[in-house]
Structure 1
Amino acid sequence: MFQSAELGHRLSKDDYDAQVPALREALLDAQMELGETRRFPLILVLGGMEGAGKGETLNILNEWMDPRFIETHALGPPSDEERERPPMWRYWRRLPPKGKIGIFLGGWYALPILARGYGQGGHAELDQAMDRILRFERMLADEGALILKVWLHLSKQAQLERFQALESKKATRWRVTPEDWRQHEHYDAVRRAAEHALRQTSTADAPWLVVEGADARYRHLSVGQALLAGLRQRLAADPPQHSRRPAPPALPVTNGLTLLHSLDLSVRINKKDYEKDLEKYQGRLNLLLRKKAFAKRALILVFEGFDAAGKGGAIRRVTAALDARQYRIVPIAAPSDEERAQPYLWRFWRHLPRLGRVVIFDRSWYGRVLVERVEGYCTEADWLRAYGEINDFEEQLVRGGALVHKFFLAIDKDEQLRRFEARQKTGFKRFKITDEDWRNREKWEDYEQAVCDLVDRTSSDIAPWTLVEANDKRHARIKVLKTLCKRLEEEL
């Protein structure tokens, strides 16, 4: 794969100077159109062997285009904050919004390739990492991102000559680091790992372009032309490229027989038993989260449910048992303009807790397969593929040290009506009821079907759903606390 990038391509200064002005003008025009239309973000992964000119190429792109609309990220080893979250968190939080360009030096490929090249992981670990990257990039492409990946290659001899040339001059000696020489010592293994990774991850959605890095003029012109071609092709696409996939087959219809109908919503708990159990389980929860073992874990709780099902009350009974410095509640409403400019999971990645902390989502990423599905805010293809993306997201959370548990609070339609009417009559509760809540009742059966589908497709051993009978608020709160304590006892 790298043989053609070792042919010694060279570009004369005259040829370079003749082509650059028109290329720069065209790049600026395409960048301005991208910024004006805000149809998609451009993500450029700039990888390659050490010494191949990644930093120089990054600088030239910032010189040729308007740097105000380019976000550049040259990430080194993970910080302490990043090590306490899933590996992809550091990239998710830096994704460019629609209309902007994000350039990642090395990107999400550098660490797994070098780990394999340095013998810190086997072939299977590299394959697993590439599989996770494939799913990540497929999701970005499905969300509309334009992904371009450039590998700047350098032969072993050319790398050695470049390092020696830089070290021979006092003004450039600082540019060669011990890490550079370490990679040179492992050049053959790093090259094999990189070649394997590129073969595995060059797809129609996110293809790799291999560019010889020995000659700066050839390198800069090749990368700039590739960037321009990618931008022009996407900007000219009508309809947008990411909508080309046909919708997956629809989910089967259950003829009204749903999982929710099997719940006994008549269960009750009296006030005396409730107060006794509340004190018992809140105390147990507090002790569990003070264990030393929890310092190496994080807790992520998801609360979903029908309108007026009592999510807020259940959450308050959980947080009453916690140290206020230990937890954060994230209420999820309609996405803001900033959030709409990103993939739909972005706004949840940014709220992930560090180890030893708790984050509670009052509504969550399941909005894509609930309200967005039922209300038609996204296409059928979008919400159908979301099940797999959500499962992958939650698997990454667990692999990163989080304990994930999800609660759905269920009430019947009559109980919801009683609570709606009670809220309208109580002055300090009127803010809890909106016209949208009343409209949602008209699609009750559609929401029931959506809930059953999401439980069937996203409840797993590592991130289970608990269906909570919530017609009686006391029973619901105790079931949530009891379930949570049991899960923590099993995990810790």
Structure 2
Amino acid sequence: MFDAAELGQRVSQREFKEREVQLRTKLLTLQYRTHELARFPVLIDFAGVEGAGKATTINMLNMWMDPRFIRTIGYQKPTRAEMARPRFWRYWRDMPPKGGIGLFLSGRYSRPLLSRVYGDIDEPEFDNRLSEIIRFENALVDDGALILKFWMHLGRTQQEERLKELEADPLRSYQVSEEDWKNHEHYDDFVAAAEHLITRTNRSAASWHIVEGGNENYRHLRVGEIIAAELSRHLEVQERKAAEDRPPTRVASPDMPKVDTVFDALDLSLSVPKSDYKKKVPAVQARLGELGRKAQAEGQSTVLVFEGPDAGGKGGAIRRTVWSLDARTYRVFQFAAPTDEERAHHYLWRFWRHLPRAGSVSVFDRSWYGRVLVERAEGFATEDEWRRAYNEINDFERQIVDHGILLLKFWMHIDKDEQLKRFKKREKSPYKHWKLTDEDWRNRELWEAYKQYGQDIIQYTSTKKAPWILVEANNKPYARLKVLQTVIDHLQEKLDGPAGRPA
């Protein structure tokens, strides 16, 4: 695979200067068009053998283009904050906005490659890690991102000569470490693992480009010209799509026929007398507080998701759940229409960034399911976008659970009559009237549509690792106790194994 990158190709200084002027002009023009269109991000990854010139080529790209719209990120070993979240948290966190360019060193491929070379993971696990990367890249590409990946290559002898040359230069000797020489000793293992990595992850939407790194002039021009060609092609496609875009129109209809759903099987008459609720809730909240303190001490993180019809009791259940927790250990995030910054990223970006640190709790009042509920109903997401979102959401949640975070998803359900009763009560309440909006009444007209979309959510995203918990919420005391007890049961099991309920 790498023979063609060991030919000793060179570009003279004179030829370099001639080609550089044209290339720089083209790159700047394309960069400004990309920034102005603001329709897709550009992710450019640099991997390869040590000494092949990855960092210097990145410096050249920053010089050729406008660095105000470029972010260069070089990853080190994960920090404590990064280790507390799923592996891809830091890559989502550092995602460039639409219209921006991200240049990445030692990115998502680095740790799997090193782990495979040094035997920390076997080949099946290596493939699992590569599959994880492929799913990540597919989600971004499907959303319009341009992903370019460069493997900067040197032959074994070339690499040895380059490392010695750098070591002998007082101004550049810091660039060579003991780890670089250790990796050189495993050169053949690196090449074998890299061949497998490139073959496995070389896809048309996120392709690899192998670049010979021996001659600096050749390397810079080759990388720049590939970026220019791919960016030009991608811009043409995206500009054409932008010209064809139409304003979103509501897709859901008030005339949708009534069909049976999983919600129709719920017994919404379940209730708890207020007197019993007042007796039980202090003990339940005290138990949750005890478990919360233990979870904090042991670094056990929790994510709670609340969805369901408007006025379904999400806010009330959340307040009772966090009541006995240390306020420094939890955050409640309420999501409505995305901000300008959030719209400039993949729709999952704003949720990835709020995953909790070790021992903390993140509560989501509305969540990533907006893509397949409100955005589907209002036409903000195309059919292709909301249909593929089910798999993207399942992958997101699988990463959360596989990292050891406790994920609980509550669907707070009420019937249409109960919703109307609560709406009218809110209208008259001096401290709740602000919760009732014109949008709530508008959404009520689409009751059957939203119920069917909810049915799809349960059907496609209630998985073994992240099942939905349906809460019969017509009676608020019953719903709140069920949420509290469910959190206790799962957190207890996560920390100590199954245990009985408080008396």
Q: Same fold (TM over 0.5)?
A: yes
Query: Is 1:478 matched with 2:477?
Result: no
The alignment status of 1:404 with 2:402, answered yes or no, reads: no
* Pair 1:17 & 2:55 matched: no
Match of 1:239 among 238, 241, 248: 241
Q: Between the two proteins, what is the percent identity of the paired residues?
A: 51
Amino acid at match of 2:264: H
Offset, 1:242: 13
The amino acid across from 1:201 in the alignment is: T
Q: Tell me the equivalent position of 1:7.
A: 7
CA contact 2:299–2:360 (8 Å) conserved in 1: no
Deviation at 1:455?
1.0
Deviation of 1:198 (Å): 0.7
Matched residues in 2 for 1:286 and 1:392: separation?
31
1:303 paired to 2:336: no
Q: For residues 271-308 of structure 1, what are the alpha-carbon distances to aligned partners after superposition, in whole Å with 9 as ceiling and x for unaligned?
A: 11101221121111112222268623210000111001
Name the SS of the counterpart of 1:239 in structure 2.
helix
Q: What do the CA deviations read for 1:121-179 (whole angstroms, capped 9, x no partner)?
A: 11111100100000000000011111111111111111100011111232322221111
Say yes or no: does 1:331 pair with 2:337: no
2:282 equivalent to 1:279:
yes
Q: Report if aligned partners of 1:355, 1:401 keep a CA contact under 8 Å in 2.
A: no
Pairing of 1:45-60 with structure 2 (within 5 A): 45-60=45-60
CA distance in 1, matches of 2:244, 2:120: 37
Name the residue aligned to 1:186. 186
Matched position secondary structure for 1:428 = coil
Deviation at 1:261, TM superposition (A): 0.2
The Cα offsets for residues 359-389 of structure 1, whole Å up to 9 and x where unpaired, read as 1001100111111112221011111111111
How far residue 240 of structure 1 moved from its aligned partner, in angstroms, is 6.5
Match for residue 123 of structure 2? 123
Q: For residues 384-416 of structure 1, give each alpha carbon's deviation from its aligned partner in whole angstroms, at most 9, with x where no partner exists.
A: 111111110011111222110000100111111
Count of residues in Structure 1 that have an aligned counterpart in Structure 2? 483
The answer to whether the 8 A contact 2:154-2:212 is kept is yes
Give the alignment partner of residue 437 of structure 1, picking from 435, 440, 451.
Answer: 440
Query: For the Cα contact (< 8 Å) 2:295–2:359, is it kept in 1?
Result: no
- Over the aligned positions, Cα root-mean-square deviation in angstroms equals 1.7
Please tell me whether residue 158 in structure 1 is matched to residue 158 in structure 2: yes
Q: Give yes or no for contact 1:117–1:191 (8 Å, CA) kept in 2.
A: no
For residues 83-123 of structure 1, the C-alpha deviation after alignment (integer angstroms, 9 at most, x for no partner) is 11111111100100011111111321011111111221111
Structure 1 residue corresponding to 2:267, chosen from 260, 264, 267 = 264
Query: SS in structure 2 opposite 1:348?
Result: helix
- How far apart, CA to CA, are the structure 2 residues paired with 1:170 and 1:65? 29
User: Among residues 443, 446, 467, which one is paired with 2:449 in the alignment?
Assistant: 446
How far apart, CA to CA, are the structure 2 residues paired with 1:24 and 1:33? Answer: 14
CA distance in 2, matches of 1:142, 1:171: 44
Taking the aligned partners of 2:295 and 2:338, their CA distance within structure 1 comes to 37
TM-score when normalising by structure 2? 0.94
Q: 1:241 to 1:209 in 2, by over 3 A?
A: farther
The residue that corresponds to 1:247 in the other structure is none
Residue 137 of structure 1 corresponds to which residue in structure 2? 137
* 1:475 alignment partner AA: Y
TM-score (norm 1): 0.96
State whether residues 47 and 152 of structure 1, in contact with CA within 8 Å, keep that contact through their aligned partners in structure 2.
Answer: yes
Q: Distance in 2 between matches of 1:259 and 1:339?
A: 33
Question: CA, structure 1 residues 414+145, in 2 after alignment: closer, same or farther (shift >3 Å)?
Answer: same
Shift of 1:15: 1.4
Which residue in 2 is equivalent to 1:376? 379
The 8 Å contact of residues 152 and 211 in structure 1, kept in 2 or not, is answered as yes
Distance 1:107 1:5 in 2: 22
Amino acid at match of 1:206: A
The within-5 A match list for 1:19-168 is 19-168=19-168
Structure 2 portions without partners, runs of 5+? 246-255, 496-503
Question: What SS does the corresponding residue of 2:432 show, helix, strand or coil?
Answer: helix
Pair 47,242 (structure 1): closer, same or farther in 2 beyond 3 Å: farther
